[in-house]
Amino acid sequence: RHRFSRCLDLNGNISPRKMADWFEGLVQKGENMIPIDDSATVSLGTSRHGPAMQVDIKERNGIVISVDLVLCIQLGSQGYFVAKPFKEYADEPRRLAYDPAMLWRQSFSVSETRTISGIDGANECRRDCLRILKSIFRKEATLAKFTSYHLKTVLMHEC
Helices (H) and strands (E) in the chain, counts: 4, 6
CB 20 within 8 A of CB 27: no
Alpha-carbon distances of 81 from 16, 71, 76, 112, 120, rounded to whole Å: 10, 9, 11, 14, 26
Q: What is the pLDDT of residue 142?
A: 87
Summarised one tens digit per residue, pLDDT across range 34-82 is 777 766 777 788 888 878 888 988 888 888 888 889 999 998 888 899 9
Q: At what angle are helices 125-139 and 109-120 packed, to 10 degrees?
A: 130
- pLDDT band at 24, cuts 50/70/90? very high
Summarised one tens digit per residue, pLDDT across range 100-150 is 778 888 888 888 878 877 777 666 777 788 888 888 888 888 887 888 788
Q: What is the pLDDT of residue 81?
A: 92
